Amino acid sequence: MCLPPGINKASGLTAAIEQLKLSAHNVVGIGDAENDQAFLSACGCSVAVANALESVKENTDLRTAADRGAGVAELIDLWLEDPGATFANIRRHDLYLGGGRRTC
């Protein structure tokens, strides 16, 4: 894959979500190789298919049991069946607000 410096799947995602007026936190990305890593790290939820490189699997929120397109279909089926359960254990973007003693 030959691209100009600074152009990758993540920069494409950034341009697309800006145009669509969305947030990257609302994007689910799925991939399998090195050229997907920047894109996956920019997504609110990153998924590796079963045949993905180990380095990709190590840095994603979810992994599918199936390879390639079947892994994509698996994720979609899970998502449609129960979106809450599919993404419930993703904690990469949790925000902790408050908890300290407030003095006014």
pLDDT tens-digit series, residues 48-96: 999 999 999 999 999 999 999 999 999 999 999 998 888 888 877 665 5
User: How far, in Å, are 9, 54, 66, 96 from residue 48 at the CA level?
Assistant: 15, 9, 10, 27
Q: Give me the domain span that covers residue 13.
A: 9-86
Is 91 inside any structural domain? no
Is 3 inside any structural domain? no
Q: What is the pLDDT of residue 91?
A: 74
CATH code of the domain containing 78: 3.40.50.1000
Could you tell me the pTM of the whole model?
Answer: 0.81
Is 56 inside any structural domain? yes
pLDDT tens-digit series, residues 59-70: 999 999 999 999
Is 53 inside any structural domain? yes
Is 92 inside any structural domain? no
Q: Which residue has the higher pLDDT, 87 or 3?
A: 87
3-state secondary structure of 63: strand
Number of domains in the chain: 1
Is 59 inside any structural domain? yes
Q: Is the pLDDT of residue 2 over 90?
A: no
